[in-house]
Amino acid sequence: MHDGPYRRLVFSTSIVDVGSGQLLDVVPGRSGQAPTAWLLAQGEEWLSHVRYATLDLSGPYRSVFTKTVPRATQVADPFHVIKLANLKLDECRRRVQNELVGHRGGKDDPLYRARRLLTMADERLDDHGREKLMGLLNAGDPQGHVVATWHAKELVRGLYDHCDPEFALAFVQRLGNDLQDPELPEEARSLGRTLLRWKHQIAAWHEAHVTNAPTEAANNLIKRVKRVAFGFKNFRNYRLRSLLYAGKPNWSLLPTLIPR
């Protein structure tokens, strides 16, 4: 939101019960300080009922949960795990594109033309789409860096094809280690390092099956309300309006929390 006479851009963090999809509160900033203070203010009895804490691969929020709800199971949101794999794939595509032709992609460059096909799920590609993708990669990826990172992305997606937590943990561990092969592009190795750092949180989804989708829905509602003004002039007004439109918290719930 924008605040003050100079319309300074400021950030906020929403705290959501991902079990019920209910917005519990909005705190200023996007660091871990305000969410930590909010959680600690709820008291030990309230915090003891928190079973799961979902994360979007944010280190500061992982620290928040480790400090305030150490008994809760931390769960990496699958959407953000796959989003990271796609991000590394796009970084690799843009790097190879620039190294090969010396400029950003244009409409006639093979890798630029392949950018949308690369992010699609492999099973959603028909024969024509897969043939087109492979042809573009053969033309624009002579060293196979983009192809290797694309396969890594698909393996990350395959992690969510089953629901066995033990198998998932072993899968992430092996994939993360395999991606450290020095012959692989740096983007794939970087993806592997992140998978290893978050392996327990990634595997935890296969037991908990909770995501931060309710948080994204609450954030979207808050943004929609904010865009049509409704008297947003300062953070206090912003917080009050957000809670009113997104639903007054029911403190009797035993919540699972995610800050954003």
pLDDT tens-digit map of 117-135: 999 999 999 999 999 999 9
pLDDT greater than 90 at residue 236: no
* 68 contact partners, CB below 8 Å, separation of at least 6: 36, 39, 40, 47
Contact 77, 184 (CB under 8 A): no
pLDDT (0 to 100) of residue 167? 95
200: tokens are 């327990």
Task: Convert the pLDDT of each residue in 144-163 to its tens digit.
Answer: 999 999 999 999 999 999 88
Contact 202, 195 (CB under 8 A): yes
In single-letter form, the type of residue at position 169 comes to: L
Task: Convert the pLDDT of each residue in 60-112 to its tens digit.
Answer: 999 999 999 999 999 999 999 999 999 999 999 999 999 988 888 788 899 99
